Copies of this chain bind each other. A is one copy, B any other.
């Protein structure tokens, strides 16, 4: 038995998200089916974690076990031939049998892209969140300074994080950096782990600050209140990219 790690990219636009769901096409289900067709045995594909509908990935990871002797190179090629063009296997590699895409992960990097302009852009509409009209860049950057570090992110998590009860909602955000890019901004998040919708909820809160709907001084209070309803709305899915899972 060999364990294979896949690194993959996908455009989340046309899917219900990563995770297998009844009555909806998930990315995990599509890849699992393609693997089963190729390997002629049933496959359990474990991802590093779910991504929601409309969220993209440049570096999602997953693993599965097989007795096949196909080389990782052939495996990648054959799998890509079976998958639609909005899902690409970037790499396949044999890993030790105790590697686990989710439990071996030491952290993750997400990017969130904001398009700042008078009009949204047809070519980036599925990959950038358009912010039209006034945008207080200084307030936005000031607010962002409150997030890096170890905090209880309960106010920024849409539901209790299952399967990590011991940790509760405490996470360490190692990095939240803001970069200029053509047409707008790119926010880079790196952390040891992320609660459900945590990145989008932080971005939503920052955007409300940039729009003058709240001030950056309120943010320490939000951490203390541990109340999802107090923080900003969830920012749209299409700006979010899972860039890398760190091992």
The residues of A with any CB-CB pair to B shorter than 8 Å are: 9-11, 56, 58, 80, 85-90, 118-123, 125, 127
Q: Which of B56, B58, B89, B123 contacts A127 (CB 8 A)?
A: B123
Copies of this chain: 2
Q: Which residues of B contact A85 (CB under 8 A)?
A: 120, 122, 125
Q: In the complex, A85→B90 CA distance in Å?
A: 30
Is A122 within 8 A of B87, CB to CB?
Answer: yes
Q: Which residues of B contact A56 (CB under 8 A)?
A: 122-123
Q: In the complex, A80→B117 CA distance in Å?
A: 14
**19 CB-based A-B contacts, threshold 8 Å:** A9-B121, A9-B122, A9-B123, A11-B122, A11-B125, A58-B123, A80-B119, A85-B120, A85-B125, A86-B122, A86-B125, A87-B122, A88-B120, A88-B121, A88-B122, A89-B119, A90-B118, A90-B119, A123-B127
Q: In the complex, A88→B183 CA distance in Å?
A: 15
Q: In the complex, A10→B88 CA distance in Å?
A: 26
Q: In the complex, A233→B85 CA distance in Å?
A: 22
Chain B minimum-CB-distance residue to A90: B119
Among A87, A121, A122, chain B packs the most CB atoms within 10 A around the CB of: A122
Chain B minimum-CB-distance residue to A58: B123
Min Cβ gap A218→B in Å is 33
Chain B minimum-CB-distance residue to A89: B119
